[in-house]
Structure 1
């Protein structure tokens, strides 16, 4: 046997043993034998570097150092899931599905909702090429080197796999692994980690992959994306993923009705505590992939999937005081300061009280024993008061009248639940909050600036708004606490690099109320530049896709403010991007110019994606749902009856696939 063949044979054998041990939980050789084979492979690879393979089992031990994790745009967006908390919520969800699909049979796949860090892994020709964190759903961090150290993640696939696809899953720590890590920390006098989820998530951002390799991380995979032509159902795709070598939990189950979904939920609500890892609910997905495509997505969630959250854990503790926080928009949030208590794996010291109405409704008072739970097991909240233990001299909580930071009288607009501080330009937390929002990862992504540094810059009179950042000098920031020479250089470099950030993110960074990431993208795509957006009147704005009355009024109010206009002009002078970058157009005709077209159903000559591309090639725009702004519906077989009914009711023309092809050819 020649050296090349021996090396490949050893790699294949070790990959199979990894699969047996970490995926099937059925080892066929001892740890000692495995280590001996791995050592032999390492020796052969060192002697013959010409046969190096980045996906060799020897590379799983890590050792690469990643100083900065590159941001990568997801080819297929990672949506979040809508949450439900009762059977009634799920019944309502199914009604929404039936309204779109009509009276057809719908099967569901039930899966446990794993409590870890979401990941998207890309495979090309069976090899792992990239692993990216969820991030904001549109883009995340490239953590490929760290993911490769996780033994349950295959580096080379088996079987008949698609040439390219993404697979989504959750990076978790088993409870036993987490406990072992904490025991080792306690033994050396270090503080133990708070919970498995945060520890798993933090592990992905460790700079040294060798340290990641030491942690007992696992990867549980649950969704193949970008290969729908290979599968008809979600259940088929999960079976295929198992055959490719992925660790797909076998607790998932194909069911025929919502009643069977309820049975699955009830079983695991009791038996989840027997699992080797944490789970906080069940994910229910429509099984048929065509039905998934027909249901589509909202701006945030897929309509074809929903998460059912198990009832949150509750504890009782004492409310020691109430403080009031001022947000960047001036919104006041009352915060309950609690006697520390253990809740769902973490120590809870604070909880949100939301607003004055909630305080009034609960009649919560300082000194009360209160019941606390984590909403969706994430954000602690007070859900009730133990009135039996209330002191006779307790005092009713009076909501503050003045801003706790600047003393300005608070205002509360009709129809709004929150109080606001109107001192927009002089209230310190609002100023600092707007700058923090501006520099945040999803906005201008300025490294080296955190909340503490921004506060120091403000208190030292170096910045009073986000435009001032672009006038900072290295010698001004060097004297700041914990600001060394290299840190100052990196900060200056990051501020300069932010001038290349795309217009849609600059628009989001400005902090216009109600203009989040998705709305900023819509506005940037529609108006192309800031000047056109500033000149748009209310009637124009509400005709933009997904821009309603509230957002339109907020945009107009923002651009009427002279102070905001001055900031924008300064940012323009500093060289920030206030126009969409011109890209090479694929447009071949303007036949569909000014038309918004919705594609629905199954097609024969073209795929749905091909039709959507043709629409853009011919100057049209793809709509996500049928509205009064829809020009034409391109309807294939099995179009949802609700869409057909809505299009007919609105008098929108409906083209068959042949009609569409004729339009292209004429």
Structure 2
């Protein structure tokens, strides 16, 4: 739904949106601060806060008592005692572009009554993406550690803080009362090592270092915290019995002299131009720091000026956080690896210096194909202004749809490699020719099953959940058995026990296996000797033939013998068998050619025959569609279904003899449209198709 411009809102709309924003921001605060499991990105959160502030500025009389503008953090987690902060822990206002920094400087000078030609000095320091912590020292002894909480009260985590090496328990020469504030964080290397240990133990792994640090500090058992590699940067203070310095930078130096870790990139800047230059410098080093930052914090350097300016309700007037652009990050491309998939496709992967993008640590990104690396599209047109990608380059990374990291741009000014990347023309796994057919964007290994990468990937696909799904035989076991020479093709799985007269004995003597687990595996393999046709077709791993297409083919041909004969008869790619295959709704020319080629290629066909000899392949169930109002009709589901899942709806329709398609065409008979239906509903309207809501669909099929 389009968001109205603030200036077009009336009071009713503004009141309703403020209520909605308050609820969304409160939920985001709970997820981030209390549960250490953020549900939205920082950019989306900042957008909600900005929108709330803009509406409040236009309608100040509508500001809510629970306005997000007046809140810091979130409620405390259960299990910790409360600590009331002697000096409130504040949050920071945000800036997102150069103009915001110029405006900040103007507002500082205006508040202080300085003229336009008087320059104010600021400190600029990396904004650490971690968990805020306040440490209270009395007579140089650590007495208490507390999280920020809601700003007024935090959680008492003193026992946990004492386990962090960067936090000294005693200080020499400190003021009588000193509250040191800073950020608990975890380095990229320590984060990766922690997740590896957690996975090994079968424990919880973390999405990013910030979540790992927050979850580690907020353990009720301090021995768990001690086992986690936490670090601490000091950058501020709360209650003091005497000043640390006359300037922000002087106070940071004093904290360092007392034994705290402070950030070496902190610098004094003289005016906006200096501030922005330091921002660019820090941003350029972001990928090599070894820990996460999400922006740069500027503070008025003169502490006398800070005292004069004071605070708003939740933020200081003398500081601001300049956030990095959302979902983008620059990092170094350390190498380009070529991976070989089960269809033989050579896929280039960028190995990156780890960097956090959209809340996730990214160390790999797709480079698509050789054209993309060379700076052109599949038709030879330039992309990225024709800039190629080389090992050692500094590249800009983004997350496509918050899932697959991709390389967006290259910084040629930082390039040190004079040699362009040469895409291999032979398979890096088996040495076979890697051929790129006319019109294909991908180069493929011609080695087939003699290529270890293809063989292993095909075997992993064969045992995947939608295929044979053999309990106890997953990707890890397949790779192990292949490397040991036990299995080279799918048929070998069903010969494991008989092929090794002492197969059970051999397996149970292997590390990680015992008599029970070995016997259980062989029983699971035997259970899968009887298997539905749709699973067999999918398990063959034929290019373009996915789970949906396998179901279509199984339902159409019914049994293996019929299917096999049809594929042989369709080999000339013309005639009745070919026409029948092409007439199946959901089967196109590319899929059909791939399927028929695979079923008639001698080596692949021989491998399939060896497999089938071990199996009893069950015929596809024919739906009892007698009297069904939707038998033979093509149905498409779109939008949100509220009374059943999409999978349930599809299964019910197919059981009644309908064909379920994922796209709308002139062949579609019925579109079932739930809330949120978009382009499919519009196309169905243009084609004059029957459109039903969920209730009407249920009434049609009998509830």
* Greater relative contact order (Cα < 8 A, sep 6+): 1
| TM-score normalised by the chain length of structure 1 | 0.47
Greater CA radius of gyration, 1 or 2? 2
| TM-score normalised by the chain length of structure 2 | 0.45
